[in-house]
Structure 1
């Protein structure tokens, strides 16, 4: 049952005689005390869980009663900005490799889920931000635990005094933690924005590029957490066929309005011209077409990676993307060409287009054993090599021209 402040108060106005021997003299919790520890370290790289967590246990232990020990230990190596359900997603092997000299019975979400089953009576932590830096999260956890009669105790809070004073101290600490969280996010995102604006790459390089260390980038002296990771910029992949393949892939969407399956069939038909590690897939094709880095600009904040679903990223709206002020690496397509490709993609997904007119020409050529390759193109026309001859076709190809080309191919055959 939840405990309210007035239930914790002791009356200073006692009876005229001693009534302490009566059965209902004081409130007695018939459950045996079963305290557990809860802790958190933000990262395994910039902090040392093997030293931080034992220190937290030692501080929290000061609020144990004499000869009392924790019956379980719940801790995470996760950001305090995450809600409980997104904590503890690391593998057991990762936690074992940390060599933390205290047992781990689960994370914060495990504690909330199993507290009643385990008969937990008290949850002890060093301070409130070890539960969460977001005030709503820590309040929710406290409420869920208090609802089943579990008291949450923070070692840095004073003992004695009034319940209102204790509550004021706790809430001030939680407000401070949330303000710190917001400040940290502002500074972190600001740094990431500048990283992109100055032309340095985030994440894995797209197919036609590799990321190399920028020798001209400023290097910060070794700091508290060791040497800073070097800044990297994108340069064309050593295999020039990748650049040509990416350019052709984008052109097939932009000019021929082909869906991913059709593009994959074309690329897979000539692995020498369109090399790929593994095989061309729907996600690879659509991901490249949608990637604005192919324009030569550095772009950040396209995806929100923390979604709770492993391997899944939520796309942010384009208005939230951060672009470098100018092109910072060699481009595969122009910004205008990239935009046109996105418009065609949107139309295909909406079902407005059933495929490009070139599909009919390609199908006819395939039946006749002929190959089609784009030689060069501009804004209005594309020069194709069909079998042994070259044909210049407008973008897009009108139906009347499509039929004439097909008739000419069949007549020549």
Structure 2
């Protein structure tokens, strides 16, 4: 009997709920039981771990690798076997995938039909479609059960459901986990207890708002008084934030959080699955967090942790906020959606924060409103508004990338990349010193907060805190500006990376906005707009290889439109 080489495909959802090794073993055992009596032997394996079944094959790493290997005439296998189609296909994924196997003449074997699937057999097609529907139904049933259980835990038990505690509270141990299996693993239950210093700040924020002070005025007062912002108060859990000043968004988040009344409140947000591309539904969905109206919130029946404000004061604040044109319970959903090619990729050179997309005069802009969001009572100098138009950047970025990765400039670009690695190595010592300074600032800030709680003069301590926060900001800015140190690559490694990147760059000129945005992301593009120079610095860093950095163009960007230009007013 001739031997038939097979590729095996399998999938396991999460490492938390299932053992990937055990799942892979039983799926491959089931596959071998099907093919070995026919002379089949597995010579290649493709196994996705921690990938939801709802993710289409082209977006699963190993499933995508299998589909790509089908195109390889020297692939090394003549058939594919799936031990559990219920795990491999979801919804209509079978109908979108089997034509690819049929096109390349690769039979797909599954135990449910006792051998290879016949695409022209209606019974086979029905069986596989049923399994896709069952897989989708099982996932939906799990979601309903989980949401129902969490809702009951919040309402009837008032249980703390995880996540970071709200500013004003800290976590306290509440005994063994109620689930016996988790308790046996040493997991504990938690509850909220007051953080006296932060709780007093929260109470003061509610009081000031009820007295008529605005969000920005409250943020200004807190910053001027040297009160650490929520991210500065708990820097270990907020390493992604600078903590240099209070933001009015932080004040708003506090006064709209119902948990300060002592009740557990769940379902303020929900996860919606939305199409990635409405013109290409085969790409599947992505999950987005959205805010629910207060009518959909789930409140605990009883007060389950120490309240900071009364329910009456909380409701009064919501009514006052609504009367000012603010949001009573959450954030309004945007009614219009515009494509932003550089979303998440462009940063402000003055503060190193991501710039926000803004549609104005039928054109996309990016803006940084740091002073409008954060209190000005700090030592950071920043223009009032920073605007830059998208169409001033994208064409020049495409031309720059095209020149950089053009075939006739390969050697020149490789020289730039090699030199960039040398520069990165020489700057590593400065990064080490910045990290040491950051750690020292955190240590001193903790000491100052302890002194404040012990009864030291608040005015003196506030001065100490401001000095240390200023030093910390400088150190954090240095760390954010510099890429993480990576393994230095050989010239051959860089040449191979350039070949892959060059293939993507050649698609930029004709790509649609959504696909162009994905290509920029794959290239690891990061843009930093310097308003004082009106230039953009671009760096390109792939997942594995540092690609160096240089200016987008020799002449820089043209000045923005005067009406929406960079304002230097304070």
3-state SS of paired residue (1:196): helix
- How many angstroms apart in 2 are the aligned matches of 1:311 and 1:288? 26
| Contact 2:92–2:129 (CA under 8 A) maintained in structure 1 | no
Structure 1 residue 304: Cα displacement: 3.5
Does the C-alpha gap of structure 1 residues 299 and 265 become closer, same or farther in structure 2, counting only changes over 3 Å? same
Aligned to 1:41: 12
Aligned to 1:296: 262
Aligned to 2:137: 179
| Contact 2:267–2:297 (CA under 8 A) maintained in structure 1 | yes
Aligned to 2:178: 219
1:129 to 86, 103, 120: 86
Answer 1 or 2: which has greater helix percent. 2
Does the C-alpha gap of structure 1 residues 210 and 127 become closer, same or farther in structure 2, counting only changes over 3 Å? same
Does the C-alpha gap of structure 1 residues 34 and 53 become closer, same or farther in structure 2, counting only changes over 3 Å? same
Q: Deviations over 1:222-275 (max 9, x none)?
A: 37x9558443322212xx121111122344445435245x43332222235877
Aligned to 2:35: 63
3-state SS of paired residue (1:222): helix
**What RMSD in Å do the two structures reach over aligned CA positions?**
4.1
Structure 1 residue 336: Cα displacement: 0.7
Does the C-alpha gap of structure 1 residues 295 and 117 become closer, same or farther in structure 2, counting only changes over 3 Å? farther
- How many angstroms apart in 1 are the aligned matches of 2:325 and 2:7? 53
| Contact 1:63–1:155 (CA under 8 A) maintained in structure 2 | no
Structure 1 residue 192: Cα displacement: 0.8
Structure 1 residues not aligned, in runs of 5+: 1-32, 89-105, 351-362, 364-413
Does the C-alpha gap of structure 1 residues 340 and 130 become closer, same or farther in structure 2, counting only changes over 3 Å? same
Structure 1 residue 300: Cα displacement: 1.3
| Contact 1:41–1:53 (CA under 8 A) maintained in structure 2 | yes
| Contact 1:125–1:153 (CA under 8 A) maintained in structure 2 | yes
Residues 198-207 or 297-306, more deviating? 297-306
Structure 1 residue 302: Cα displacement: 2.1
1:324 to 300, 310, 320: 300
Aligned to 1:397: none
| Contact 1:201–1:298 (CA under 8 A) maintained in structure 2 | yes
3-state SS of paired residue (1:326): coil
1:53 aligns with 2:24: yes
Give TM-score scaled by structure 1 length: 0.58
Q: Greater Rg, structure 1 or structure 2?
A: 1
Does the C-alpha gap of structure 1 residues 273 and 74 become closer, same or farther in structure 2, counting only changes over 3 Å? closer
Aligned counterparts, 1:183-262, within 5 A: 183-197=141-155, 198-202=157-161, 203-215=163-175, 219-222=178-181, 227=185, 229-237=187-195, 240-256=196-212, 258-260=214-216, 262=217
Structure 1 residue 193: Cα displacement: 0.7
1:84 aligns with 2:56: yes
Give TM-score scaled by structure 2 length: 0.44
Aligned to 1:17: none
